[in-house]
Chains A and B, each alone.
Chain A
Amino acid sequence: MSQNVNAIQDHVQLFHQPEYQELFERKRQFEACPSPEEVQRVAEWTKTWDYREKNFAREAITINPAKACQPLGAIFAAAGFEQTLPFVHGSQGCVAYFRTHLTRNYKEPFAAVSTSMTEDAAVFGGLQNMIEGLMNAYALYKPKMIAVCTTCMAEVIGDDLGAFITTAKNEGALPADVPVPYAHTPSFVGSHIDGYDNMLKAILQTLEGKKGDSTGKLNFIPGFDPYIANIRELRRMLTLMDIPHTILADNSDTFDSPNTGHYVLYHGRTTLQETAQAINAEATVALQAYSTEKTRDFIQTVWQQPTCVLRPFGIQGTDAFLMKLSKLTGKPIPPELEVERGRAVDAMTDSQAWLHGKRFAIYGDPDLVLSLLAFTLEMGMEPVHIVVTNSNEAFEQEAKELLARYPNGGEATVWGGKDLWHLRSLLFTEPVDLLIGNSYGKYLWRDTKTPLVRIGYPIFDRHHLHRYPTLGYQGAINLLNWLVNTVLDELDRQTILPAKTDFSFDLIR
């Protein structure tokens, strides 16, 4: 009998019991699996340079990519605006996937609706779905704004979103004054970071007010940044500097709402009114470049407003950010932030011995990778493999320039457009000490034994990391904490065998 009611075993222990191990053995006779020797032989081959060459010769199949598709980023952006319902025109399965994905990362509900297009809509177009969808969504959820993006189905058949929305309003599906910005977000172009950009631009375009006197504010665009605490940290720093600001858009409460016993649908913090006034800000600061290209171009050319990209990550990134803000606004950098800077630098010098010279691989979105490179280079770490599936030339140029500024950046190769199966070959053929990436990195950890520091999106298998900032001086301390303590955990794992390795199982490190 397998279960003892006082110590019930779930899958983690149950299947280790002899009766289940025997069951696995019996099952093998019907599986026609290759012999363990054959599996071993092929497994060893996948670790070789020969395999790496064949792997890198791939032109058609992508294996374990580190990118999602546009609409995910689009609804992520939309969720930052006041009482805004993300609305996806196309097949409904996509929306089920997006909601699931965001929910698994944040452990928060995520509301978004679909126009549920099916075969008949593929033939006749999705106009009726759009009309009915807007009518029902408005009636049920009373949004102040409905932010429309598309799935690839609607894009392939070429639905005319602007005309559809106008028709829906003319037919009374929803009041004419409800803003319905729309963005084309085909999944066969770019990735989720482009969807973020396209949706944000569409919303700013739709809500823009009259060009008038300056509000004296600065606009800030966080980009597709999974660490919602970064927005809170940004606000805190701006408040300390007494800089009036608008965040386009602040979805921090959407992905971290309090449990009060009442489910509240909308948590977007950026009001439609202040968004309308964003046109009259002094300037717009984007904290990411490659998720904001079209939006910045729009602000610059149409609003005639200066824009810049500042990356407040790591010490020097944060320094440059604060100095630029000080220059833009004429306001001094407050002593509190200077003290924080000192604490962060102090922590970094305390831990530097454990991270200096540590060779690592990293993968993720271009902007995320740049922010982490900035910090790790400052720490004296040595990036080796930099894999960015949704890469672009400008990013690769920027990354190379950053690496060239540090002597410890010389070992790195930027692998644009590659995936995590490529990275697996890199890790086997040119091993490193650490891997930085999202939860999918755990498979690389298992296969190559490279310890994983979970930073990125999605993180499904660890809780609450998105609640910690990675931005500013506080963020530098968090990054340091995650990195150095992973190294120390790994040291303990390597030295834990009694009478074998445990002489180095040090109490003090």
Chain B
Amino acid sequence: MTSVYQERKQVIQDVLAAYPEKTRKKRQKHLNVLEEGKSDCGVKSNIKSIPGVMTTRGCAYAGSKGVVWGPVKDVIHISHGPVGCGYYSWSGRRNYYVGTTGVDTFVTMQFTTDFQERDIVFGGDKKLAKALDELATLFPLTKGITIESECPIGLIGDDIEAVARHKTKDLGKLVVPVRCEGFRGVSQSLGHHIANDTIRDWVFPAYDKLSNDELGYTPSPYDIAIIGDYNIGGDAWASRILLEEIGLRVVCQFSGDCTLQEMKLAPRVKLNLIHCYRSMNYLCRHMEEKYGIPWVEYNFFGPTEIANSLRKIASYFDATIQEKAEAVIAKYQPQADAVIAKYRPRLEGKRVMIMVGGLRPRHVIPAFRDLGMEVIGTGYEFGHSDDYQRTTHYADPGTVIYDDVTAYEFEEFARRLHPDLIASGIKEKYVFQKMALPFRQMHSWDYSGPYHGYDGFAVFARDMDLALNSPTWGLVKAPWKTHTDTV
């Protein structure tokens, strides 16, 4: 281990050498090798990205519209400002939902106030108010509307809160102003937080006074909410099925395939289950503080962690739930074993480098391990120190840790650490594939999925196999080329 540790430390130093001194000093703090027995990865995080280095990060708007609010299906989300933000994020994230799009659900549509110069000069509040009226006319079944602010809104001094308050009364539909301008914060992360706060401030209070009857809700002792599952490729459904099987009642699934009604019910559940801690812990903490609802983190990637998580979740409930959890684990174990029996021999010993957002840089490590694969590097696009603390629970000592990794660093690490597979995002995918490195997108599941739950693990294993064992990689080098200069 020591030699690997030293070797990888040296790799970091070598890669850093390309930077101007000032930048090198800054970036140095974001890179490390995980040490045995440490409770932290020893990297700085949630700090401004350095100009000019090709960060992979997005913005607060992406965190709110793209991640937290966007999947809420019966609410219209306006990209308030110029046309681009809504255009680029339109249908980009595969938040699956059931509904008649354009009639009772709206996730894969793009609504924008399409700001022109005059809106910048004279302000956009009047246009916004009119836009809300028009939406109410054309989409009578929408349950509410969020205003997802783009950069100019905060710079030109618009009062979207006043418009929202006025229009909530006027239209009889909830209108939520979200101050997620892209220049706020250092990444998507602040957008998650801002979106969480708008739920706290604009959604929950509007329904707190209603009785359960008025909400059409009959509580049960087993009511839970799934928080922070965006249902990419159906992840939340593949999770929900297990939770229901152990006897729990999922009354809110936030925010993948979520409705406003489910959000109204969330403060009334017995336990919040949080999958993506990074993007939704704020709301769980709020619900704990205000409504006394405990919350628990869980991990539904790979059978080892699924079993651990089901037991942990069940421990919050009575013996019947705990017994059912054991029964469910026992029921699915043969399925998981069959998947492992088939794919482990094909994947054993393969080395992976991960770089994504949210929870995945740590949560998928055990799923790879279940398949005999080893994660040799991982890092977060927009993690905080609490993410890096939690990572030590999952990652092996000697894992290279990179925070807000730059394109240059990521490429160089890959060249020097020789992974077999890169698990990252679309901007990275073809860079590494040009290096003849197998790759899977870990934001969109490369248009596959689900990857959560036992059913998802089978898909995960199949996909890692098809990526790694594709014969196309063997074609990259022309047979008449003799030099061995590869990645």
- B is a partner of A: yes
Known interface pairs A96-B427, A139-B18, A139-B19; A153-B152 also in contact (CB < 8 Å): yes
* B426 interfacial by beta-carbon distance below 8 Å: yes
Cα distance, A187 to B252, chains bound together (Å): 38
Q: How far is the CB of B191 from chain A (nearest CB, A)?
A: 9
* B71 interfacial by beta-carbon distance below 8 Å: no
- Is the Cβ of B114 less than 8 Å from the Cβ of A3? no
Q: How far is the CB of A78 from chain B (nearest CB, A)?
A: 15
Contact partners of A176 in chain B: CB under 8 A:
none
- Is the Cβ of A72 less than 8 Å from the Cβ of B151? no
> Which of A61, A96, A107 sits near B430, CB closer than 8 Å?
A107
- Is the Cβ of A109 less than 8 Å from the Cβ of B58? no
Query: Which of B89-97, B197-205, B312-320, B360-368 binds A?
Result: B89-97
> Which of B60, B78, B182, B411 sits near A61, CB closer than 8 Å?
B78
* A23 interfacial by beta-carbon distance below 8 Å: yes
- Is the Cβ of A23 less than 8 Å from the Cβ of B151? no
Q: How far is the CB of A258 from chain B (nearest CB, A)?
A: 9
* B393 interfacial by beta-carbon distance below 8 Å: no
Contact partners of A273 in chain B: CB under 8 A:
none
- Is the Cβ of A1 less than 8 Å from the Cβ of B104? no
Q: How far is the CB of B100 from chain A (nearest CB, A)?
A: 5
B450, closest chain A residue (CB): A11
Q: How far is the CB of B213 from chain A (nearest CB, A)?
A: 14
* Complex interface residues of chain A between 1 and 34 (CB less than 8 A to chain B): 1-3, 5, 8-11, 14-15, 19-20, 23-24, 26-27, 30-34
- Is the Cβ of A135 less than 8 Å from the Cβ of B20? yes
Q: How far is the CB of A21 from chain B (nearest CB, A)?
A: 10
A187, closest chain B residue (CB): B82
- Is the Cβ of B342 less than 8 Å from the Cβ of A5? yes
> Which of A63, A96, A136 sits near B51, CB closer than 8 Å?
A136
- Is the Cβ of A69 less than 8 Å from the Cβ of B240? no
Cα distance, A190 to B283, chains bound together (Å): 39
* B112 interfacial by beta-carbon distance below 8 Å: yes
Query: Which of A243-251, A260-268, A334-342, A368-376 binds B?
Result: A260-268
- Is the Cβ of A93 less than 8 Å from the Cβ of B455? no
* B487 interfacial by beta-carbon distance below 8 Å: yes
Residue-wise interface mask of B (110-122) relative to A, using a CB-CB cutoff of 8 A (1 in contact, 0 not): 1111111101100
* B140 interfacial by beta-carbon distance below 8 Å: yes
Known interface pairs A2-B455, A443-B108; A156-B49 also in contact (CB < 8 Å): no
Contact partners of A23 in chain B: CB under 8 A:
237, 240-241, 244
A97, closest chain B residue (CB): B88
Cα distance, A104 to B444, chains bound together (Å): 12
* Complex interface residues of chain A between 40 and 77 (CB less than 8 A to chain B): 42-43, 46, 51, 54-55, 57-65, 67-69, 71-72
Contact partners of A116 in chain B: CB under 8 A:
48-51, 55
Cα distance, A113 to B88, chains bound together (Å): 17
Q: How far is the CB of B244 from chain A (nearest CB, A)?
A: 7
Known interface pairs A31-B259, A42-B141, A260-B476; A64-B109 also in contact (CB < 8 Å): yes
A115, closest chain B residue (CB): B51
Q: How far is the CB of B327 from chain A (nearest CB, A)?
A: 13
Q: How far is the CB of A380 from chain B (nearest CB, A)?
A: 34
Q: How far is the CB of A236 from chain B (nearest CB, A)?
A: 24
> Which of A51, A64, A111 sits near B54, CB closer than 8 Å?
A111
- Is the Cβ of A140 less than 8 Å from the Cβ of B19? yes
* Complex interface residues of chain B between 128 and 166 (CB less than 8 A to chain A): 128, 130-131, 133-135, 137-138, 140-141, 143, 150-152, 154-156
- Is the Cβ of B183 less than 8 Å from the Cβ of A121? yes
Query: Which of B274-282, B369-377, B433-441 binds A?
Result: B433-441
> Which of A3, A38, A133 sits near B454, CB closer than 8 Å?
A3
Contact partners of A421 in chain B: CB under 8 A:
102, 109
Contact partners of A92 in chain B: CB under 8 A:
49, 55, 57-59, 182
Cα distance, A293 to B25, chains bound together (Å): 46
* B385 interfacial by beta-carbon distance below 8 Å: no
- Is the Cβ of A5 less than 8 Å from the Cβ of B338? yes
Cα distance, A33 to B339, chains bound together (Å): 37
* B3 interfacial by beta-carbon distance below 8 Å: no
* A100 interfacial by beta-carbon distance below 8 Å: yes
* A203 interfacial by beta-carbon distance below 8 Å: no
Contact partners of B61 in chain A: CB under 8 A:
93
* A151 interfacial by beta-carbon distance below 8 Å: yes
* B351 interfacial by beta-carbon distance below 8 Å: no
Cα distance, A204 to B172, chains bound together (Å): 55
Cα distance, A103 to B432, chains bound together (Å): 13
- Is the Cβ of A100 less than 8 Å from the Cβ of B182? no
- Give the interface size bracket for B toward A: 35 or more
* B29 interfacial by beta-carbon distance below 8 Å: no
> Which of B186, B332, B449 sits near A11, CB closer than 8 Å?
B449
* B251 interfacial by beta-carbon distance below 8 Å: yes
Contact partners of A67 in chain B: CB under 8 A:
83, 87
- Is the Cβ of B103 less than 8 Å from the Cβ of A118? no
- Is the Cβ of B183 less than 8 Å from the Cβ of A111? no
- Is the Cβ of B262 less than 8 Å from the Cβ of A30? yes
* A230 interfacial by beta-carbon distance below 8 Å: no
* A491 interfacial by beta-carbon distance below 8 Å: no
Of residues B78, B104, B114, B430, which shows the largest number of chain A Cβ atoms within 10 Å of its Cβ? Answer: B114
> Which of A10, A31, A60, A100 sits near B233, CB closer than 8 Å?
A10
- Is the Cβ of A109 less than 8 Å from the Cβ of B434? yes
- Is the Cβ of B183 less than 8 Å from the Cβ of A153? yes
A32, closest chain B residue (CB): B261
Cα distance, A263 to B427, chains bound together (Å): 13
* B387 interfacial by beta-carbon distance below 8 Å: no
* Complex interface residues of chain A between 149 and 166 (CB less than 8 A to chain B): 151-153, 156-157
Cα distance, A72 to B131, chains bound together (Å): 26
* B184 interfacial by beta-carbon distance below 8 Å: yes
Cα distance, A20 to B241, chains bound together (Å): 8
- Is the Cβ of A188 less than 8 Å from the Cβ of B119? yes
- Is the Cβ of A39 less than 8 Å from the Cβ of B53? no
Contact partners of A100 in chain B: CB under 8 A:
88, 92, 426-427
- Is the Cβ of A118 less than 8 Å from the Cβ of B448? no
* Complex interface residues of chain B between 1 and 47 (CB less than 8 A to chain A): 18-20, 22-23
- Is the Cβ of B251 less than 8 Å from the Cβ of A259? no
- Is the Cβ of A118 less than 8 Å from the Cβ of B48? yes
Known interface pairs A109-B430, A118-B184; A153-B407 also in contact (CB < 8 Å): no
- Is the Cβ of A39 less than 8 Å from the Cβ of B434? no
* A132 interfacial by beta-carbon distance below 8 Å: yes
Cα distance, A340 to B216, chains bound together (Å): 70
- Is the Cβ of A97 less than 8 Å from the Cβ of B58? yes
Cα distance, A69 to B116, chains bound together (Å): 11
- Is the Cβ of A65 less than 8 Å from the Cβ of B486? no
* A122 interfacial by beta-carbon distance below 8 Å: yes
Known interface pairs A91-B59, A156-B151, A189-B117; A14-B234 also in contact (CB < 8 Å): yes
Known interface pairs A87-B52, A261-B435, A261-B476; A69-B84 also in contact (CB < 8 Å): yes
* Complex interface residues of chain B between 222 and 255 (CB less than 8 A to chain A): 233-234, 237-238, 240-241, 244, 250-253
- Is the Cβ of A1 less than 8 Å from the Cβ of B477? no
Identify the B interface with A (CB < 8 A). 18-20, 22-23, 48-62, 74, 78, 81-85, 87-92, 96, 98-104, 108-117, 119-120, 127-128, 130-131, 133-135, 137-138, 140-141, 143, 150-152, 154-156, 182-186, 188, 216, 233-234, 237-238, 240-241, 244, 250-253, 257, 259-262, 265, 331-332, 334-335, 338-339, 341-342, 406-408, 411, 426-427, 429-436, 448-450, 454-455, 458-459, 461-462, 476-478, 485-487
Identify the A interface with B (CB < 8 A). 1-3, 5, 8-11, 14-15, 19-20, 23-24, 26-27, 30-34, 38-39, 42-43, 46, 51, 54-55, 57-65, 67-69, 71-72, 87, 90-94, 96-101, 103-104, 107-119, 121-122, 129-130, 132-141, 151-153, 156-157, 186-189, 191, 257, 259-264, 421, 424, 440, 443, 447
Can you list 28 A-B pairs with a CB-CB distance of less than 8 A?
Answer: A8-B461, A8-B462, A20-B241, A32-B259, A46-B103, A51-B138, A62-B112, A63-B110, A69-B84, A69-B87, A72-B84, A87-B52, A93-B61, A93-B85, A99-B427, A114-B49, A114-B51, A122-B154, A122-B183, A133-B52, A135-B20, A135-B52, A136-B52, A153-B155, A153-B183, A259-B436, A259-B476, A260-B477
